Amino acid sequence: MRYAADALRRRPGRTALTALGIGLATALVLVLLSVSAGIQASAFRLATSSGVDLLGTSTNTSLSSSSFPPVAGAHQLARQIPATDPNVATASPWLVSSLVFANSTLYAASNLSGNGSSVPAGWQPASATSIGWIPGDNTGLEVPSIVAGSNLPVAGDPHYANGTYNGPRTDDVVLNAALAQLLHVDSNATIWASPQSPSGPSSLAGWFAEATPFRVVGLSGPFWFLPSAALGMFYLSELQQMVGGDTASTDYASLLLIHLVDPTQASHDQTRLGAAFPAITFFTLGNVVGAIQHVVDLYRTFGTMVGLIGILVATLFTATVLLMSVEDRSRELALLRAVGYSRAQVGGFVVEEGLLLAVLGMVVGLPLGFVGATLLNDFLERLLSGLPTGFSFVTFNASVLAEGVVEVLLIGLVASLIPLVRALRIPVAEELRAA
């Protein structure tokens, strides 16, 4: 090892550049590994703490779908599922839809002129995700915490009125902080919502005439279900009325979030409910986590490909530098052979030099990888507002470090192969005569 270290000291510039190249490749690999581990750990933690033990969707729906076909009879299913399976504590129907929101400032501006000329440039309604639910049917589920104002005031769904949809409307809504900030509103403000978008400033007055006004009763914190979305939360029946599902024959939701009394029997409940409700596909938490893992694996595959390119470049660069070092010291290596060093010993010097370069690169790369991962996490957290507490895009743990260390040592070993072969083939007699 002393001989290899001396060889590196004699060429400090070349050694420093090679170590930096290995270090950059190491940092890239560590950042990619830490992002994969972070997203997986955070998603798993959110899923397992959500209280959702079974997830119901329309039959033959995949968890990887970008949209969910409607599940009919949502209000009745909230009662029928627990009645069918005593282990079901809660069956909460959720309707997920996209609405367009506007505030009172835009409403006032649109009324100042009939053609929209009074609306300042750039002012327009904002699209956001909306959830319709029944506030009282969420026992055991983790729901958004209220950070200002209050939650929806009635535990049930008064406008549903046992399927007649003739009950009183509350016209109340809870906005999460991201949507409230986007609309520049607070509790007790009035906002308008519609599934349609206005075509431009001239159509705003007509859009407001067709849109439904709501009173913002409260603001909520981040939500695990849609962690980064601007989100409005309505009574199920009132959102159904806006998007066209407010009849006894439709009464649809997008998902059923099910909390079990005993979650250890989830697969048994999945089978039992699947047989009783053939129009619905039920997924266990294990299925949900598996779907999350599938997405993470896709990212990990892409990240691995990018990391391999970096490792390959670093390996080729290191191999070139080691080969140059062997060529520079060919007479010296021949002399070592002449005085009694074996081929294995001389080859070991080359491998040691490669490993020392890898270790130096690791010393550079580990801090760079940690700093890079931390900066990336901070950037993504600022970019995606409304993330749940404790969510992290990166996890810099022992497993990530171990994988990074193994990969960087492989750089040193693989890069040593061609220089090793060259060192073993040095013609001793010719080199000594040339000296």
pLDDT of residue 317 exceeding 80: no
Mean of the per-residue pLDDT values of the chain: 82
User: Are 109 and 156 in the same domain?
Assistant: yes
Domain-embedded: residue 61: no
Give the N- to C-terminal CA distance of the chain in Å, as an integer.
26
Model pLDDT, residue 89: 94
Q: Which one of 278, 312, 330 terminates a domain?
A: 278
CA dihedral 56, 60, 64, 66 (to 10 degrees): -90
Model pLDDT, residue 364: 84
How many CA atoms does the CB half-sphere of 132 hold within 13 Å?
28
Region 247-254: mean pLDDT is 87
Is 390 or 375 the better-scoring residue by pLDDT? 375
User: Are 116 and 250 in the same domain?
Assistant: yes
User: Are 314 and 407 in the same domain?
Assistant: yes
Q: Pick from 239, 225, 260: which is nearest to 133 by CA?
A: 239
Q: What percent of the chain has pLDDT over 70?
A: 80
Model pLDDT, residue 65: 62
Domain-embedded: residue 7: yes
User: Are 162 and 255 in the same domain?
Assistant: yes
Domain-embedded: residue 55: no
pLDDT of residue 402 exceeding 70: yes
User: Are 89 and 197 in the same domain?
Assistant: yes
Domain-embedded: residue 20: yes
Model pLDDT, residue 434: 53
Domain-embedded: residue 171: yes
Domain-embedded: residue 387: yes
pLDDT of residue 168 exceeding 90: yes
Model pLDDT, residue 4: 56
What pTM was computed for the model?
A: 0.69
Confidence band for 345, pLDDT divided at 50, 70 and 90: confident
Is 278 or 6 the better-scoring residue by pLDDT? 278
17-42 pLDDT, tens digit per residue, is 777 877 788 888 888 888 877 777 77
Q: Pick from 293, 296, 307, 300: which is nearest to 30 by CA?
A: 307
DSSP 142-195: --PPEEEE---S-SS-TTTGGGT--SPP--EEEEEHHHHHHHT--TT-EEEEES
User: Are 297 and 205 in the same domain?
Assistant: no
pLDDT of residue 421 exceeding 80: no
Q: Which one of 236, 257, 278 terminates a domain?
A: 278
Which of 103-107, 247-251, 257-261, 381-385 is predicted least confidently?
381-385
Model pLDDT, residue 366: 83
Q: How buried is residue 429: exposed, middle or buried, by Cβ count under 10 Å (0-12/13-18/19+)?
A: exposed
Which of 4-8, 218-222, 273-277, 354-358 is predicted least confidently?
4-8
- The H or E element that residue 309 is part of is helix 285-328
Number of structural domains, the chain?
2
Region 328-353: mean pLDDT is 69
User: Are 256 and 390 in the same domain?
Assistant: no
Is 9 or 118 the better-scoring residue by pLDDT? 118
Domain-embedded: residue 53: no
pLDDT of residue 334 exceeding 90: no
Confidence band for 191, pLDDT divided at 50, 70 and 90: very high
Q: Which one of 246, 278, 310 terminates a domain?
A: 278
358-372 pLDDT, tens digit per residue, is 778 788 888 888 888
Task: Decide if 18 contacts 361 (C-beta within 8 A).
Answer: yes
Region 93-114: mean pLDDT is 90
Which residue range is the domain that position 139 belongs to? 72-278
User: Are 42 and 87 in the same domain?
Assistant: no
Is the alpha carbon torsion for 408, 409, 412, 413 positive or negative? negative
Model pLDDT, residue 407: 75
Model pLDDT, residue 113: 78
